[in-house]
Structure 1
Amino acid sequence: MTTKTTVSGAEIPKKGFFAHFGLVPQILLGMILGVALASWSTEAGQSVAMLGALFVKALKAVAPILVFVLVASAIANRKIGGQAKMKPVLVLYLLGTFLAALTAVGASFLFPSSLILSDAQQAVTAPEGIGQVLKGILFQAVDNPVNALLTGNFIGVLTWSIGFGLGLHHANSTTKKVFSDISHGVSHLVTLIIRLAPIGIFGLVAETVATTGFAGLASYGHLLAVLVGSMAFIAFVINPLLVFITTRRNPYPLVLTCLRESGVPAFFTRSSAANIPVNMMLCEKLKLDEDTYSVSIPLGATINMAGAAITITVLTLAAVHTLGIPVDFATAMLLSVVAAICACGASGVAGGSLLLIPLACGLFGIPAEVAMQVVAVGFIIGVVQDSCETALNSSTDVVFTAAVSQRAGA
């Protein structure tokens, strides 16, 4: 029996035994096999790492092109109602990120963490202030469009695709149809790449287990518990509450679907940018408005960073607690705002939020040398922290987009 998957109008036939089990069960099978292989032989686990690297590289390569053509095509052929939905999605993105930072502040006060800060430093360059973050965003927005596509600068890609789409909006219907067909063709290619996800996840899991093992993070258990617990609270309490307020429906079927089909791949790719094609497919599967999700999903990968806000806040307050610096309510609120703003400027790649920790540490007068040691701790726990962070960030993009679409369709 032959079934078909539709992505932005492109129909992809799926044949064979494994097609009947769906993509997510196949990914879970790949995870199990990856753990088994790395547990049996560390060398064998590392030997298949290339499969994961190829899969992530392919996703990152096609994602900027996908974003450009889908956004430009959606705006060129836009429907008035679809664009009207972007404002509530944007509000949910910003509100969710701020609430995540606030949750992290509360968790850090209830369960304070201490760090072992040594003289080791990481050779990395971090922003020196909020002004530098905002300046960087503006310069990324006007980046050369070809360079933006080549380097995966999604702020620049979004800017130029919106401009290109607005220009095409007044073109004749034949021109618009050609561009729409191009977007369908790129979506078809993305579908084929995503069908390889089980193999890619197999390689990623095997490499992670072979490199890190299961006991390598034991010394940072408390810090990880605060981080992951805060992210879980956002995923299973705050996000469902926001969805319920928006839709007046039971939010958990939607939330759990997004965590399963978007969060699981994002957990292992550790890149919101690489997970954009996955989210596009999920939005298509949920039958959401393409005019909305073709813009909201790449935008979410840029500014919807609840997990990043939690990481910045928890690690900053861990440093503050370690150094014995007093924190009052007003300063905690200011940290929440700063963390939310910093999170929106975080890179959508693995470890992107860690480089913004020194900026938040600057609120408390923590020297750059000490702040960079906190960043080093972040890299040590990154295999878990960054995976959970990306899973929350990426799945929430679809959750909020779907919530707004459901409310509009009610």
Structure 2
Amino acid sequence: MGNIGVQVVIAMIVGTIVGAMMGHSASMFAPLGSIFIHLIKMLVIPLVAVAIISGAAGLGSSHSAGKVGLTTLGFFAFTSAVAVALALVMGEVFQPGVGIDLTGVEGMFSNAYAEKGDLPSFWTTLLGMIPTNVFQSLNEANILQILVFCLFFGVSVSKLEKERRDPLINGVNAIVDAMVWMINVVMKIAPLGVFGLMADAVGTFGFSALMVVFKLFVVYIAAILIYGFIFYPIMIKLFSKTSPIKFLSAMKKPQAVALSTASSMATLPVTMETCEEELGVRNSTASFVLPLGATINMSGNAIYYGLVAIFFAQMFNVDLGMSAYIAIIVTSTLGAVGQAGVPGPSFLVVAVLLSAGIPIEGLPLLFALDRIFDMVRTALNITGDAACAVIVDSYIGDNEEETSRA
């Protein structure tokens, strides 16, 4: 597995070149990517289910379980809010939406997405997280419902008496190990799949669509780099015993897979392996934090929402007041938490724009490039998941040391 990261990066570069040279005919390689994604999807849902049960059972029997859960959720909420704030600052400093020449692209404008901007209410969201039929949730790949049931089930397993609990936990851990073996086999064809995905994406969309939103794209990449290579390493340095250099070096492989698949869920097995084997995160912590993070921790999406809001406000000459900025931060943070860890055009940005009174007609300008934006923000999302796992694991270690001294 050691050289898979290098092979994936090479496959991305070759796929990009082939896509640029062949144009639309590069779609002939799309089935290679589809096979890879289908194999990953086949394994991800069962892996998430058993990993969450294993992690919750492992944490449920420790004294720090409640603190771990609160720390994890607090980390995700805090980093998402900071991500939106960074996006707003960079949007105001670099002004990507000022001076855009809209000649020839007005035909892309559309109001068709206006009705898609309603964020569900608190109670609707809460009810939607609770499965009425867990087998249906598994069948429909409803990640939040699977998470809720498996967390509950894992904690309940940890409360059984030792002689009944241990065989169950050992059995679940054996299934996790078997699933990881299957993932490792699938990852052997990752370079082929990545080549197919990149050739198809570049060949279909090309680089011409990028020119209209080029400045937004550049500012967006800069924000992602600042967050991934400065903010998260600082958090690692301050709140864990892991070296930021070691962390960034270890994350190269999962980041390459995240870039190619544009899915936190598809990258989850690689992120788990990297955290456990290269960063020394305990299995119980990784099995709890990482699947949860792949579902609700979306700092890359939060940056995207914030920057797109500023971009369109500047493009349509909308003056934003403090209340609009607060609305963008709150809606972007909630939207990032509610975004499932799978690729696809993100209509949650509609809710962010509507909350601040920003016109949404220009959204189709972004949709052709959504795959490229999605790839980049997914790489940041999984970096945040891993950073949280490292910090929480260090926190658990410190707590256990204090408990043993007491």
Residue in structure 2 matched with residue 395 of structure 1 by the alignment = 383
Shift of residue 267, structure 1, vs aligned partner: 0.9
Distance 1:248 1:294 in 2: 20
Distance 2:277 2:336 in 1: 29
Shift in alpha-carbon separation, 1:196–1:262, aligned structure 2, 3 A: same
Shift in alpha-carbon separation, 1:196–1:394, aligned structure 2, 3 A: same
1:166-205 alignment, distance < 5 Å: 166-169=155-158, 170=160, 171-205=164-198
Q: Secondary structure of the residue that 1:357 maps to in structure 2?
A: helix
Percent of residue pairs bearing the same amino acid type: 22
1:60–1:152 CA contact under 8 A, matched in 2: no
**Aligned residue type for 1:110:** V
1:145–1:157 CA contact under 8 A, matched in 2: yes
Question: 2:33 is matched with which residue: 52, 65, 85?
Answer: 52
Shift in alpha-carbon separation, 1:133–1:212, aligned structure 2, 3 A: farther
Shift of residue 408, structure 1, vs aligned partner: 4.4
Q: Secondary structure of the residue that 1:274 maps to in structure 2?
A: helix
**Aligned residue type for 1:384:** I
Residue in structure 2 matched with residue 302 of structure 1 by the alignment = 295
Distance 1:235 1:289 in 2: 23
Unmatched tracts of structure 1, length 5 or more? 1-18
1:51-130 alignment, distance < 5 Å: 51-78=32-59, 79-80=61-62, 83=65, 84-114=67-97, 116=102, 118=106, 120-121=109-110, 127-130=116-119
Shift in alpha-carbon separation, 1:220–1:396, aligned structure 2, 3 A: same
Question: 1:261 is matched with which residue: 239, 253, 259?
Answer: 253
Aligned CA RMSD, in angstroms, stands at 2.6
How far does the alpha carbon of each residue in 1:137-181 deviate from its partner, in whole angstroms, 9 at most, with x for none?
531332532222222221111111112223333144333332332
How far does the alpha carbon of each residue in 1:162-218 deviate from its partner, in whole angstroms, 9 at most, with x for none?
122233331443333323322222222122222221121111122122223344412
Shift in alpha-carbon separation, 1:248–1:126, aligned structure 2, 3 A: farther
Distance 1:143 1:350 in 2: 26
2:205–2:369 CA contact under 8 A, matched in 1: no
Q: Secondary structure of the residue that 1:327 maps to in structure 2?
A: coil
1:137–1:155 CA contact under 8 A, matched in 2: no
Q: Which stretch shows the higher mean deviation, 325-334 or 151-160?
A: 325-334
Unmatched tracts of structure 2, length 5 or more? 399-406
Tell whether 2:117 aligns with 1:135.
no
Q: Secondary structure of the residue that 1:80 maps to in structure 2?
A: coil
2:37–2:261 CA contact under 8 A, matched in 1: yes
**Number of equivalences:** 385
Question: 1:32 is matched with which residue: 6, 10, 13?
Answer: 13
Distance 2:57 2:395 in 1: 25
Shift of residue 341, structure 1, vs aligned partner: 1.4
Residue in structure 2 matched with residue 165 of structure 1 by the alignment = 154
**Aligned residue type for 2:273:** M
Tell whether 2:337 aligns with 1:347.
no
Residue in structure 2 matched with residue 155 of structure 1 by the alignment = 144
1:315–1:374 CA contact under 8 A, matched in 2: no
TM normalised by structure 1 equals 0.85
Distance 1:304 1:278 in 2: 17
TM normalised by structure 2 equals 0.86
1:133–1:342 CA contact under 8 A, matched in 2: no
How far does the alpha carbon of each residue in 1:204-235 deviate from its partner, in whole angstroms, 9 at most, with x for none?
12212222334441222111112211111111
Residue in structure 2 matched with residue 6 of structure 1 by the alignment = none
1:38–1:206 CA contact under 8 A, matched in 2: yes
Distance 2:196 2:37 in 1: 10
Q: Which stretch shows the higher mean deviation, 209-218 or 219-228?
A: 209-218
Distance 1:344 1:118 in 2: 32
Shift in alpha-carbon separation, 1:47–1:343, aligned structure 2, 3 A: same
Q: Which stretch shows the higher mean deviation, 26-35 or 90-99?
A: 26-35
Residue in structure 2 matched with residue 9 of structure 1 by the alignment = none
Shift of residue 249, structure 1, vs aligned partner: 5.7
Distance 1:175 1:254 in 2: 33
Distance 1:164 1:125 in 2: 40
